[in-house]
Structure 1
Amino acid sequence: MKFTVNKKEITDAVLNIQRAVSTKTSIPVLEGILIKTGELSVEMSAYDLELGIKTVIAATGIQEGTTVLSAKLFSEIVRKSPAEIITVEVDEKHMATIVSGHSNFSIIGFLPEEFPELPKLEDSTIFNLPSKMLKSMIRQTSFAIAESDAKPIHQGGLFNIQDGRLDMVAVDGYRLAKRSELIDFKDELSFVIPGKTLREVNSLLKDEDDLIEIAAGKRHVLFKIGNYTVTSSLLEGDFLNYKATIPTETGIEVIVNTRKVIESVERVSLLITDRLKSPLRCTFEDDSIKLLCTTAMGRASDQIEASIQGENIEIGFNSRYLLDALKNTECDEIKIQLNTALSPMKIVPKEGDSFLFLVLPVKLKSN
């Protein structure tokens, strides 16, 4: 087996697929990258038995063959190669020689027969989304994906398609994030993708209008992103009935400048640390939002203007959860909807319904 490639192309490819390499495994071959040569290209794959990433890059001087090389070592070698051209040659004993300029490495590979096959999707349902849209949907919801394994199904993002509308939803028990778009797909479909997969897909997506093909099967999902293919297991279980958790009535409605409220929350939260935790006390009254925080370190308060309709209310929040939601609104003005001091805060755009964030309140002690 032999091939010659451009340094930048192979470095970028290896760095991207390396994210699917298993780091903690009793199967050594999973710590490697499967490399196959074709007529005019080289195909490289990594697979940790849950997430697989495959890509193809152009090559010359090809002698066909297959091998598996240590992902960590191969990545460092190509990244630090001195010349713009890299030649890889592998003998029948899977000893790989990597040459770039005056640099020459010989490393031992794994048997390719031991590398597991990536899952093949059968009876899958296929739909397409613009890259920019999918990237935005992942970005605006992934912050609310659960990190705890108390309910494993919530460690992923829900894709729910109904009546030509795609909802992407994440929930962790303290907040909920929903991003919605109308799409050209009339069937009903629902599946949950692990948070790790969504992060890796997001890193490959570009802010462009290129269509991304998504194929959803019973147990796996596949994304085709340019010259990359991402295959992932789906999470199993009953996802939260998110539609039932969203308040349908609103007693208090607030319109506020997003940047101003973020900056105010950040200022008042300076007294809060991992060791000194305290709820952020928010009072909505007289067309203003008053923020107050008290910890063992001191006391901080601030006030910003807002347009408020409804009765006055005082409500407490975890400042980090509130900031996560505010920072992912990605619009100049937002609408905040409230009911009681113990009901979730609903954050939506001033116009439209492209996103919806719920943040659960924290019970406040009397002053």
Structure 2
Amino acid sequence: MKLVADQQELAAGIGWVAKGLPHRTSTPILLGLLLTAGPDRATIAGTDHAISTQLALDCQVDAEGTCLVPGRMLAEIVKLLPPGPVTLAAADNRFTVRCGDAVYTLPLLPVIDYPATTDAEAEHRAAVDAAEFAAAVGQVAVSAARDDVVPALAGINLSFADETVELASTDRYRLGIARVGLTSPVQPFDVLVPAKALVDLTRAFAADGGQLLLSVADETLLLHNLTRSARVRTLSGPYLPYRRIVPDETPIRATVERAALRDVVKRLSVVADGMTPIWLEYGVGSLRVRAGSADDASGAETLAASGTGDSLTVAFTGQLLLDAINSFGTSHLTASYTGARKPAVLTGATETGEPDGDYLHVVTPRLLPQQ
């Protein structure tokens, strides 16, 4: 096998695939990258069993073939080479990297031991705009659990129906729901995918732009476009009936500038440790945000707000509130309530209070004796 490719393109491709390789494994063969040189392009592939990635790279192929190379070492070498053409060649159980006067050699790994990937027939298919889908994944992933004690809570549920996919995640303290349009109608189906893996993978597809194709087969979600593909093992079991958490009616609503509220919560977090709540006090035309107590450090700031309904005072854990605010990209936020002890529903809004976007975030308030 022998090929010549541009250093920057090669470094980006190898780096993306190598990023998914395991750091520790009882199967050392999984530490390798599988390089295959075809008639006019090469493919770079890697797997840790749970996630598999592959990238097609246009290049000059002088000799076709397949080889398995230590992945992370190759990625580091190619990344640090100067710009220009890079030659990769495999012969006599050695792998050679050449760029100008630089020459590096690596041992080859046995290709025969590398796990084969089989393409099962897809049970379901859908297509989305890659950038829109990645943005929605990033928003709802904020609500996913950070550990896998309950695997389903560390996942994002994708619910496909007609011309829409609804994404949802919850760690029981918060819930994120987003909707993205499909390029064509599909029959209803659901799939539950690890949140962290989906965030990392969709970010790369978004950078490519264009359309992202999704298919489900044999408990695996396949994501692919013209040059890049990834397989993610799905999580089992039905997802939580999360729609029951969202109230049908919210008589109390207030709209506030998002960046201003974010900055106030950040400042108040200095005097509010993890156990100290941040209070939101809604009045006529204003929102007072405070934290701390008279016996300890404290702070308070007031923001302009518009809304409907009665006055309300509600407490939140500071980090949950800040995560919720940061998950939006709109200029304003509308917070909707049924009461001080019920979940708050946050939605994006324009300056005039009109809805903006197809994402909502539900956050549970702190239940305190003085409420």
TM-score when normalising by structure 2: 0.92
What residue number does 2:330 align with?
A: 331
Aligned pair partner of 1:293 in 291, 303, 311: 291
Partner of 2:359 in structure 1? Answer: 355
Sort the Cα spacing of 1:358 and 1:8 in 2 relative to 1 into closer, same or farther, 3 A.
same
Q: Alpha carbons of 1:123 and 1:203: their partners in 2 closer, same or farther (altered >3 Å)?
A: closer
CA contact (8 A) 1:315 1:364 kept: no
Matches of 2:108 and 2:369, distance apart in 1: 63
> Match for 1:36: what amino acid?
T
8 Å Cα contact 1:164-1:187 kept in structure 2: no
**Partner Cα separation in structure 1 for residue 208 and residue 118 of structure 2:** 28
SS in 1 for 2:132: helix
Distance 1:153 1:53, change over 3 A: same
Of 38-47 and 203-212, the range deviating more from structure 2:
203-212
> 5+ residue gaps in structure 2?
350-354
Deviations 1:262-320 (A, max 9, x none): 122122122234xx531111111222111111178611111111113212221111111
Q: Determine if contact 1:160/1:190 at 8 Å carries over to the other structure.
A: yes
1:117-132 matched pairs, under 5 angstroms? 117-132=116-131
1:295-310 maps to which residues of 2 (within 5 A)?
298-310=297-309
Change in CA separation of 1:314 and 1:119 when aligned onto 2, cut-off 3 Å: farther
What SS class does the counterpart of residue 53 from structure 2 fall into? strand
- CA–CA separation in structure 2 for the residues paired with 1:326 and 1:83: 41
In structure 1, the residue matched to 2:149 is: 150
Q: Give secondary structure in 1 for the equivalent of 2:12.
A: helix
Query: Does structure 2 retain, via aligned residues, the 8 Å contact 1:160–1:166?
Result: yes
Cα distance, 1:261 vs. partner? 1.6
Match of 1:54 in 2: 54
Aligned to 1:28: 28
Distance in structure 2 (CA, Å) of the matches to 1:113 and 1:95: 16
Aligned-partner SS, 1:164:
strand
What is the SS of the residue equivalent to 1:363? coil
Structure 1 unaligned blocks of 5 or more: none
Task: Tell me the residue number matched to 1:196.
Answer: 196
Give, in angstroms, the shift of residue 61 of structure 1.
4.3
Distance 1:360 1:29, change over 3 A: same
1:343 has 2:347 as partner = no
> How far apart are the structure 2 equivalents of 1:106 and 1:352?
55
> In 2 relative to 1, CA 235–280 (structure 1 residues): closer, same or farther, beyond 3 Å?
same
Map of 2:164 onto structure 1: 165
Aligned-residue Cα RMSD (Å) equals 1.9
Once the two structures are overlaid, the 10-residue window that deviates more, 220-229 or 78-87, is 78-87
Written as runs of structure 1 = structure 2, the 5 A alignment for 1:66-81 is: 66-81=66-81
Q: Which moved more, 1:297-306 or 1:344-353?
A: 344-353
Tell me the equivalent position of 2:352: none
Distance 2:157 2:5 in 1: 39
Residues 65 and 208 of structure 1, relative CA distance in 2, 3 Å threshold: closer
Contact 1:38 1:62 in 2 (8 A): no
Shift of 1:112: 0.9
**C-alpha distance in 1, partners of 2:61/2:241?**
56
Query: What is the CA–CA distance in structure 2 between the aligned matches of 1:239 and 1:334, rounded to whole Å?
Result: 28
For residues 113 and 148 of structure 1, do their structure 2 counterparts lie closer, same or farther at Cα, with a shift above 3 Å needed?
A: same
CA contact (8 A) 1:135 1:207 kept: no
Aligned identity (percent) is: 18
Deviates more, 1:8-17 or 1:183-192: 183-192
CA–CA distance in structure 1, aligned partners of residues 342 and 83 of structure 2: 61
- Cα distance in 2 for partners of 1:118, 1:271 equals 53
Indicate if the aligned counterparts of 1:47 and 1:118 stay in contact, CA closer than 8 A: no
Cα distance in structure 2, aligned partners of 1:15 and 1:109: 18
Contact kept in structure 1, 2:278 and 2:316, CA below 8 Å: yes
What residue in structure 2 maps to residue 314 of structure 1?
Answer: 313
TM-score, reference length from structure 1: 0.93
How far is the alpha carbon of 1:162 from its aligned partner? Answer: 2.6
State the AA in 1 paired with 2:157. L
Task: Measure the CA separation in 2 of the matches of 1:194 and 1:228.
Answer: 19
Which of structure 1's runs of 4+ aligned residues deviate more than 6 A? Answer: none
Give the 3 Å change call, closer, same or farther, for CA 99–181 of structure 1 in structure 2.
closer
Change (3 A) 1:233 1:208: closer
| Whole-Å separation in 2 of the counterparts to 1:42 and 1:141 | 35
How far apart, in 2, do the equivalents of 1:154 and 1:41 lie? 40
> Are 2:221 and 1:215 aligned?
no
* Structure-1 separation of matches of 2:62 and 2:189: 43
Aligned residue for 1:340, secondary structure, equals coil
**2:284 aligned with 1:280:** no
The aligned amino acid for 2:74 is: F
**Equivalents in 2 of 1:155, 1:42: separation in Å?**
35
| 8 Å contact from structure 1 (residues 317, 361) kept in 2 | yes
Task: Give the deviation of 1:218 after TM superposition.
Answer: 4.1
CA distance in 1, matches of 2:181, 2:130: 15
SS class of match (1:346): strand
